[in-house]
Amino acid sequence: MKKVIIIRYAELFLKGKNRGFFEKAFEANIQRALKGIEHELLRQSGRYLVVNFAEEVIDEMIVRLKKVFGIHTFSVAYETDANMDAIFAVAKTVCKQEGSFKVASHRGDKKFPLTSIEISKELGGRLLSVYHNLTVDVHNPSFTVNVDIREGGKALVFSEFIEGANGMPVGTAGKGLLLISGGIDSPVAGYMMAKRGMNVECLHFHSYPYTNMQAKEKVVELATTIASYSCGTKLYTVSVTHIQEEIHKKCRPELMITLLRRFMFRIAERHALHISAQCLITGESLGQVASQTIEGMTSSNSVVEKLPVLRPLVGFDKNEIIDRSVKIGTYETSILPYEDCCTVFLPDFPAIRPKLKDILMEERKLDVEGLIKTAFESMEKIEL
């Protein structure tokens, strides 16, 4: 007998004639996740098998596979010969010696002499004969011994279903540009779009020297976490220090955040078009802060001319976002106490419901195109 990993996919079975496109991307993402680990990936009916790997790398493989979107569940299983003696020998290994249990069998090979029910009955009886502290509970067992009879004279025996990331394979839903800050929300937004199959690249605005290099390193770490789910990413950083200084010098302070965000959206859209991204992604949640009222969002959106702006967190409250950030591993980094650009020159009373006519009047005091041109000259690119 040898160990294999059974991978079951999530929504791919819903696809019709273009299902092959999704499966090809799914296979490529699994291979990318397991890069550097010797293995083979085999395709079977409705599932995949990872085989021919060293047993000492199983824990690392589990960690990596948990981050592959498109995987519904996976199991570490023993592959053995499809006869009851061999199956029983393996079942003793995966079976606990006490507690309630059941045997769940699936006969993929209809030539096997026993039906699924007969396999479960016989194997359950054999296990009870050697482990006397076991009891059978087919409705609410404390654990299950699973048997899968496959074609080719092989059987798979396992006990655990490991929850996958679900969603759709990254690379099947286009490319988006995430406006990533050092906060809690935007990394979660990027994760959620990657989960729907979107390639996510990141754009970060900084205000060095008003913000320090630790703030930038924090964002690099957050983008690296996103990259672990999205099959890698690129992080672009842009300085908006000169823009903030000009707004602070010439414009009404209560409109500073709204004016700055309009610059960010202009820069983001132009860069998105340059890298062939098809949308912008933000971590905005309606009403969470002054710039995220419907009036603030409308003001920001009004400068975006060609691309949609996706806000996957718009209806979430803060606790829901925090819960997700903890789950994906970004929370502890997000709460590190390093300022981002939006805290520089922060007014005491930012406008909650900015009026577009007031914003346009203030922007006339600024050389918008010149400031944007200088911002692009500061752009840096980091491959993650």
User: Nearest-CA neighbor of 1 among 38, 42, 51, 40?
Assistant: 51
Give the model's pLDDT for residue 192: 98
CATH 3.30.565.10 correct for 2-163:
no
Let me know: does 69 contact 195? Beta carbons within 8 Å: yes
For the chain, domain boundaries: 2-163, 175-383
Write out the two tokens for 278.
């098809």
Give the number of C-alpha atoms closer than 13 A to the C-alpha of residue 382, restricted to the C-beta side: 17
Give the model's pLDDT for residue 10: 82
**CATH fold for domain 175-383:** Rossmann fold (3.40.50)
The tens digit of pLDDT for each residue in 136-192 reads 999 999 999 999 999 889 999 999 999 999 999 999 999 999 999 989 999 999 999
The tens digit of pLDDT for each residue in 346-358 reads 666 677 788 889 9
User: Nearest-CA neighbor of 377 among 275, 236, 238?
Assistant: 238
Write out the two tokens for 190.
């990027």
State how far the Cα of 366 lies from the Cα of 362, in Å rounded to an integer. 8
Give the model's pLDDT for residue 344: 62
Give the model's pLDDT for residue 282: 97
Q: What is the DSSP string of 49-112?
A: EEES--GGGHHHHHHHHTT-TTEEEEEEEEEEESSHHHHHHHHHHHS-SEEEEEEEEEES-TTS
What averages of pLDDT result for each successive group of 10 residues across the chain (384 residues)? 93 78 94 96 90 96 97 97 96 95 94 95 96 95 96 94 96 97 95 97 91 86 96 95 94 91 97 98 87 85 96 96 97 83 64 86 96 97 95
Q: What is the DSSP string of 244-295?
A: HHHHHHHS-GGGHHHHHHHHHHHHHHHHHHHTT--EEE----TTSSGGGSHH
**Strands 279-281, 309-310: parallel, antiparallel or unpaired by DSSP?**
parallel
State how far the Cα of 102 lies from the Cα of 139, in Å rounded to an integer. 8
State how far the Cα of 276 lies from the Cα of 272, in Å rounded to an integer. 6
Give the model's pLDDT for residue 375: 97
| Residue 373: Cβ-neighbour burial (10 angstroms; 0-12, 13-18, 19+) | exposed
Give the model's pLDDT for residue 346: 66
Q: At what angle do helices 256-274 and 356-363 cross, to 10 degrees?
A: 80
For the whole model, what pTM was predicted? 0.90
